[in-house]
Amino acid sequence: MSGFLLCGEVHYFRVPRSLWYDRLLKLKRAGANCVSTYIPWNWHMPRRGVVDFEDSYRDPLVPGYFSRRLRNYFELAEKLGLKIVARPGPYICSEWDSGGHPNWLYAEKCRLRSLDPCYLSYTLEWYRAVMPIVAEFAERGVVPVVQVENEYFWGNEPFIEKLQEEAAKHLRNTLIVTNENYYLSRVPNTIDDYPSPWSIRGFEEKVEKYVRSQPGLFKMFMELQGGWFSSIKHGAIPTDRLSIPAEWTELLVKTAFMMGVDNINVYMFHGGTNPGYYTAKYITTSYDYEAPVREWGYLSQRYFNVKRVYTFLSTFGEILGKTKPTRNTVKASLGCSEVYARSGENATLVLLRNTSDTVCYERLIRGDSVLPHSRSIRVPPRYGKLILLEAEIPGSPFKLIYSTLEPLLYLKFGSTWVMIFYGDREEAELEITTSKAVQRMLVIGDVNVSSVNGVIRAEATVDVDDRVVALETVDHERLIVVLTSRKRAERTWILDVNGKPLVLVSNIYYVGNVEDRGIGFSLEVELDSESCGRVLAVTPLKLEEIYVNGLKLEVSRLHEDVYEFTLSPELCVLDNPREVVLSSFTAGWDPVDHGYVRIEPYTPLETAGFYDNGFYVYRIKFNVNTEVLSRLRDRTLAVVGVFDYAVVKLNDVFLASGYHMLEANASVALREGLNELRVIVEATGHPNDGLIYVPNGIATGV
């Protein structure tokens, strides 16, 4: 496997099928080359003996727009050029009912997550169902990594090895890993972390321990904090841990990569919605996660922060591919930033990490050299700034000595190389050398360029306007360098138009589909109030005319491969919301009614053959004669051993509601003779640890 896996977790089972393409395209547009997803056992085997990957099984409590068509989801990812990390468990956690274990499995009384023959036999049945689909895409090179089990913190190497062995029977030449298990010697491990902002030390220690434990092995952050879930206990706040700053996720991604974790999966990239009663106990139906792509499809600031880093890592992969973490090779002049470095034969990448609340200005000391020569590097507060040094541009005569701005993008078409750097209203400086004479130089914008002894130095003040320096050698090899702001870097879009790149440096909120129209092409563009203004297009395509909603825009050709046009402000004025008048309402009751089935007291619902989560009504009849009624010292009714929410009525009189154990004075409803007690239980799912059995229903008594 070559290159870095830059993934985002997007669960097909939490996203309506009609939105799969949109969410995956947004992942790709963020610079990702990979999607990661759990594959829940209970989603595809909801009943004993039922295997569904075609939406043939209908759950009345799950809306029909949720889908089990795993193959179709993989096909969409493949069509978009995304690799897939498949995570079929058997245990997945994921704040999902039972961590993916089917409810019917509880009736079998297996010892879960173990080598118990009962559990293992059903696990292998699940593997026989799901692995052929995974293998189909693995053989096409779409699935490079498969994870077995999840977060098995306490070892049990024979169990993990058995799962790997069984998965390998279906998967040829596919890397099989597990997650969060440091006690293994033969199965590669991956890690998760969700540290509290801005507590970076524990995160560093974990990464250091992990890298040491995997010498020479594949290394991956299988879950790097992209937000957090919410529970019913905390209500409407963004997550159970309040709001996770977007800048924190960016800092974690950069730090992990610089410390040697080359493959990263942001969890969640898009959380979606928990369908029906597949949510784990006490977790909200919303799985928004405050993720980069929010539950309703909106691109949050976290999206744009991750997009900048992923765009850099994916496009500079060819240059960074041979770099490894190094210690003490680069130092900071003032020491107000922590320094991390990755070095290789053809490039050095430096991270200046400033966790303080003030701006830091640094110069880099590398051997006898001090860089930059005439300016300092501005490092914003609570930010990690990446600086690229001594980067040879593959196949070209050009070499980047340094830039005080952060690198965003690198690409090549024909004999042209393009690099984009960005910063925050700062004084910038970069140096480039070339092994061939430069015969032509073009400068667009306010840039001071000088050339001394084959070293080309460019100096500029970076603000809201883009600057361009284009060099051309005597052999007509070109290097185009764009300097832009961080905000415009976040809204720079890399598109493919019939195999040719189109880069838009812009304020545009989102660019989606690209469609070939024969005589031209069209882009699906979403605009917000900040989207208008200048657009710089870098492309080998010949742009002659541009239309927006039928309005022709003026296009200026600044260079052979650089164009400029402007989106006028009126395009970004949002319409006022339309007034909607509700004229009528309709309401209905859940039509599902299976009638009553007699069960023995103290019997969990799963043991009695009721495998679905949802509402259940217990009807309990009992007689109280005059003698018994007169001898009662109190008339307290207690319902105990309810692992969910319950409502209690006696003889159609409401007595109590609540969780787990209910007590109520029954005097107002208890009567001589026949009494009828009704307990309505909402079975909201099982804990997602997938280990401790907490049954549905009334497990003890009344």
Q: Are strands 189-193 and 220-225 parallel, antiparallel or unpaired?
A: parallel
**Residue 612 pLDDT exceeds 50:** yes
Average pLDDT for 213-225: 95
Confidence of residue 592 (pLDDT cuts 50, 70, 90): low
CA trace torsion 14, 18, 22, 27 (10° rounding): 30
Residue pair 681/620 in contact (Cβ under 8 Å)? The answer is: no
Q: Are 150 and 91 in contact (CB under 8 A)?
A: yes
State the average pLDDT over residues 45-53.
96
What pLDDT is recorded for position 625?
92
Residue 442, beta-bridge partner list = 470
- Comparing CA positions, the residue from 276, 313, 478 lying closest to residue 410 is 313
Please answer whether residues 665 and 635 qualify as being in contact, where contact means their C-beta atoms are separated by less than 8 angstroms.
yes
Residue range 355-364: mean pLDDT, rounded:
95
Q: Which two tokens stand for residue 153?
A: 């913190």
Q: DSSP letters along 486-550, please?
A: HHHHHT-EEEEETTEEEEEES--SEEEEEEE-SSSEEEEEE--TT--EEEEEE-SS----EEETT
- Taking the C-alpha atoms of residue 291 and residue 272, their distance in angstroms, rounded to an integer, is 9
Which pLDDT belongs to residue 455?
A: 94
Provide the sign of the torsion angle of the four alpha carbons 635, 639, 645, 650, taken in this order: negative
pLDDT exceeds 90 at position 576: no
361 contacts: CB under 8 Å, gap ≥ 6: 334, 336, 376, 377, 378, 379
Q: Give the mean model confidence (pLDDT) for residues 72-93.
A: 98
Distance CA 487, CA 323 (A): 28
Is the model's pLDDT at 478 over the cut of 70? yes
User: Average model confidence (pLDDT) for the chain?
Assistant: 93
Q: Is the model's pLDDT at 1 over the cut of 90?
A: no
Q: Is the pLDDT of residue 589 over 60?
A: no
Confidence of residue 367 (pLDDT cuts 50, 70, 90): confident
Note the pLDDT of residue 579.
Answer: 52
pLDDT at 20 over 80: yes
Residue with tokens 């003030």: 358
Task: Report the C-alpha gap between 65 and 45 in whole angstroms.
Answer: 18
Share of the chain above pLDDT 90, in %: 84
Determine the Cα–Cα distance for residues 201 and 252; give it in Å rounded to an integer. Answer: 11
Mean pLDDT for 405-429 is 96
- Give whichever of 166-170, 516-520, 643-647, 681-685 has the largest mean pLDDT: 166-170
CA distance linking residue 332 with residue 326, whole number of Å: 15
Task: Tell me what the mean pLDDT of segment 46-55 comes to.
Answer: 96
Cβ–Cβ < 8 Å for 407, 431: no
Residue 591 has pLDDT above 50, yes or no: no
Q: Which pLDDT score is estimated for 587?
A: 53
Would you call 301 helix, strand, or coil by DSSP?
Answer: helix
Q: What is the distance between the alpha carbons of residues 655 and 702, in angstroms, rounded to a whole number?
A: 14
- Give the confidence band of 651 by pLDDT, cuts at 50, 70, 90: very high
Rounded to 5 degrees, φ, ψ at 234 are: -100, -5
Q: Supply the pLDDT for residue 2.
A: 58
Residue 571 has pLDDT above 60, yes or no: yes
- Rounded average pLDDT over 211-220: 94
Range name among 143-152, 274-283, 597-606 with the lowest pLDDT average = 597-606
Helical H segments across 108-227, by residue range: 117-138, 157-168, 201-213
Residue 176 binned pLDDT confidence (cut-offs 50, 70, 90): very high
Nearest to 696 by CA among 681, 683, 682: 683
Give mean pLDDT, residues 339-361.
Answer: 96
**263 pLDDT higher than 90:** yes
Average pLDDT of 22-29?
Answer: 98
Q: At 585, is the pLDDT very low, low, confident or very high (cuts 50, 70, 90)?
A: low
Contact indicator for 222, 191 with CB cutoff of 8 Å? yes
Percent of the chain with pLDDT over 70: 97
Q: How confident is the model at residue 630 (pLDDT cuts 50, 70, 90)?
A: confident
Cα distances (angstroms) measured from residue 100 to each of 28, 66, 179, 181: 27, 17, 16, 19
For the cut 50, the answer to whether the pLDDT of residue 578 exceeds it is no
Interatomic CA distance for residues 289 and 230, integer angstroms: 7
d(CA 38, CA 278): 14
pLDDT in tens, 124-139: 999 999 999 999 999 9
Per-residue pLDDT, averaged over 322-335, amounts to 91
Distance CA 10, CA 271 (A): 7
Provide the pLDDT confidence category of residue 162 given band limits of 50, 70 and 90. very high
Across 132-159, average pLDDT: 96
Burial (0-12, 13-18, 19+ Cβ within 10 Å), 392: middle
What is the rounded CA–CA span in Å between residue 66 and residue 270? 15
Cα–Cα distance measured from residue 4 to residue 62, given in angstroms and rounded to the nearest whole number: 37
- Residue 595 pLDDT > 80, yes or no? no
Mean pLDDT for the stretch of residues 594-604: 86
Whole-angstrom CA distances from 436 to 415, 440, 453, 454, 604 are: 14, 12, 12, 9, 79
Q: How many CB atoms lie within 10 A of CB 407?
A: 25
DSSP for 310-352, please give it: HHHHHHTHHHHTT-EEESSSSEESS-SSEEEEEE-SS-EEEEE
* Residues in CB range of 373: below 8 A, 6 or more apart: 429, 431, 457
pLDDT attached to residue 577: 46
Q: Is the pLDDT of residue 438 over 90?
A: yes
pLDDT (mean) for 260-285: 96
For residue 205, what are the contacts with CB-CB under 8 A and spacing of at least 6?
none
